[in-house]
Each structure stands twice: as structure tokens, then as C-alpha cells.
Amino acid sequence: MYNICVNPTHPSPYDLQQDVHRITLYSTVAKEHQRRSMRKHLTLHLDMNCFYAQVEQRAYNLYGLPLAMGGWRKPDGTPRGIVATASYEARRLGIETAMSAFEAHQICPYLVFMQIDYDKYKGISRRLKAIMEDFAPDVEKYSMDEYFMDVSFLRQHSRAGIEDFVKKMKGAIYSELGLVSSMGVATSKTYAKLASGRRKPDGLMMILNPDDAAQHLFHLPLDKVWGIGRRRYAKLQRQGLHTIADAHKHGPALFRKLFGEMQGQLFYEIVTGRDQARVLDNEDHIPDEVSYMHTFSDWSDDEDRIRGEIVKAVRKVCYRLRGYNRKSRRWACHIRYQDVKWDGVTFAFATPGHTNLDDYVLEACLPQALRIIRQALRGGHTIRGIGLHTIEMLQVDQLELFFQENKQVQNLYLAADCINNAYGADTLVKAAIKNGVPGKTHFVNRS
């Protein structure tokens, strides 16, 4: 039964994970993600090991075979696409995420390629969450294959009691889904996520006190921690801070000096496992940015078709912004070239004001994008992919003084969202999208 929208200002539920097969950007430092209480708590992080690959290995009895998700072979056997993830058998041979399928084939000629069956994994992810909710009420979906759970009710239990709880949940998941997972339990959300990654596959690590953290986590480089990306890590390295242990040793002063009083203090707290980030419900889980990237099945020198891919990218990002009830004024677009390094050009642009309507974004983006594409084509390059992401976001209800979206255009997009949410994502689309670059994608349902 369809949930039909009769009022365009209140659309049917948005599918905010549509075509999203990577972890969305997310941080524990946001003020609205913090707990109001300073009491001690415990958080569990669950990570389904090589989720897509594991599901397909079980579905087609491919256990023991090296499997790469996201690639395919042309009729002549030439591999195409990008490795979105790979089984552990493939990883042991050197197959890595984001590697081209051609390069992966060079490493392992007998590598099995499969495309991503998004609807299948989405359904299994729902069943996974239902199993977890049988063990605790507060469960946060971080991505399709990662979940957080508030297990503060276990604080008074012994280490053996906590371990028994986790093993029972792992067993229930395996019994119903036939899938294994790694879990981490810690006194902070950040450390729980770090812990689950230390014992893959099918592992368990508990960070219940400072000695546990010192033994298992202190040696990790700081860029393994949420919020400490490449640039921030480089700043810390220049000051002699390389590991979590270094951060504990030096204290918060250097973080405040490098990143500001409030932000620096928050970074220090997440790095040292003192953050008060809470397990969020689905409505609270809004990423720091919304992005889209599509690598074409084959390179293209057709300007009209590449333009159609830009229209598609804008549509995907703006749809999710409307679903999150967010708008952006500053954006970035990436034009990826087909060459040895897969380099390209990234440029920033601004809309007249904060918006989540395709028309305004296209009007600001297309002139610059097409100028870069024409220049690249004249220089002998071909185009292999298009990306788009927001640089900043704000809530829809924050009004602007000098810019207002056209109300008719706004209602048109909200009405289109209602139809697409009820009857399928591509029920009502711009005609230009149909003129995109032909070929396969990572996803079975878009091939």
C-alpha cells in the first residue's frame, strides 16, 4: 500500500540511503549530538564485515572465493567499474576499495565481480536492526552495515557478563541471517567504533577502562579517529602528535591552540575517549555534508551526455537535502578525467542563497562545469566521472534577507518528491537525466 502525499509541504518518507553505499560523513563533535548528562555510559558499535560481499557469498555459496563488489566484465571479458568493497579472500591478495576493476583483475585474474544489489542489502539491514532492537531499545543506524547501541544498562555487569551479552547478540544475527560481525564496546562512542575495527572479522573488543584503552588503542595514529582528517592530522604531526597516546600525554592545550578553544577541546575529548556523544535516533542522524559521485562505465567525450550526468548529480544531492530538511549555498563539483592517475578538476561555486532546489544549483554549476569539460575535451582528455557535494548546510526554517526561493518552483519539486517517494525514484524526472552517459553502474537496479 502506497503512502500517497496529498499536501506537497508534507511529502511521503524520503529514501535517504538511495544509491548511498559508503559511510556518510559524520562526527561526534557536533553540539546536538552530545549527551546532556555526564554520567558514565557504555556504547556498542557493530560492523558487518565486508557486508555486500558477505551477503553475496552466502547467497551464491561463494565462500573461499575472492569477490569484488561493484565491478563487472564487458562481453569480451574486459573488467570495468570500481571496487566498492571486497571479500577478505580478495583483500588478502591486495584488492582494495576504490581500486579500478581493471587493476584488480591484473592482481587476480580469477577475481569474481558482482554488482551491488542495493535492495537486497537494504532489506537485510532492516532485519539486522530488528534483531538488535530485541536486545536494547536505543539503536542508531550509522550506515547500512554499521550500527550503534546504547548498552549503559550493562555498566554494573562484570566483564564476563558484558561479553556474554555481546556473544548472544552475535549468535542471534548469525542464526537468522547467516552473517558474521565485529563488535566493540567502550565507554565512548568514538572508542567503541575504533574497538570494533581491531578484531576483524567476527571479533569482539571491549574498552571498559583506561588500561584497556592503553593496551589496544593508544598506538593508533590520530587520523583513525572521527573528525581528525588528513589536514588536521598534518597539523598535529607538525607539533609532534602522531598517536592517541601522544594526545593523552600532551593534554588539551595544543588542540585548543590549533583548532580553537571550543572545537579544539572537543577534538581532544573524542581522541582521548572522553566524548559524550549519544546514540541517536534516525531523525537525529544528519550527515555533515551530502555528496554524490558517479564513475562512468566507460569514459565519454560527449558533452551533452556528460551534462546529463551533472543534472543527475544535482538531482541526487538536492533530493537528499530536501529529505534532511537542509539547504546549502556553497557547493563543490568534481570533474574526473580518464588518465593514469584519474585526476580531474574540483571547483567551488555558490547559489544566490541557501537552497535545495535543482534549478538554482544547476544555474550556478553548469556554466563553470561545461567550460571545464570543453577545455578538457579540447586538450585531449575524456571524462570518467562526476561528483557533487555541499560545503555547508543549514536548516530549512532559517530565513534569508536577500534571497527567497520561487514558491511555485519549490512546490513543484516537493510534489515531484511525493510522486517519486510513493511510486519509485525515477517516476518523474528531468528529461536531461535520460541523456546521461550509457553503461553499467555499481548497482544492479541501475544497470
DSSP string, 220-273: SBGGGSTT--HHHHHHHHHTT--BHHHHHHH-SHHHHHHH-HHHHHHHHHHHTT
Pairwise CA distance, residues 284 & 280, whole Å: 6
The residue from 89, 140, 146, 405 that is catalytic is: 146
Instruction: Give yes or no: 146 in active site.
Output: yes
Long-range contacts of 205-210 (CB under 8 A, 24+ apart): 206/159, 206/162, 206/163, 206/166, 207/273, 208/42, 208/159, 208/162
Pairing status of strand 181-186 against strand 43-48: antiparallel
Residue 416 Cα distances to 4, 290, 404, angstroms = 12, 20, 20
CB of 164 closer than 8 Å to CB of 48: no
Exposure string over 353-369, b if 16+ CB within 10 A, otherwise e:
bbbbbbbbbbebbbeeb
Grid cell at residue 322: 530536501
**Position 285: which residue type?**
H
Any alpha helices (H) in 134-229, and if so which ranges? 159-177, 189-196, 210-216
Number of H-type helices and E-type strands within the chain: 14, 13
Grid cell at residue 5: 502525499
Grid cell at residue 23: 559511510
Pairwise CA distance, residues 379 & 114, whole Å: 35
Pairwise CA distance, residues 373 & 379, whole Å: 10
Active-site amino acid positions: 146
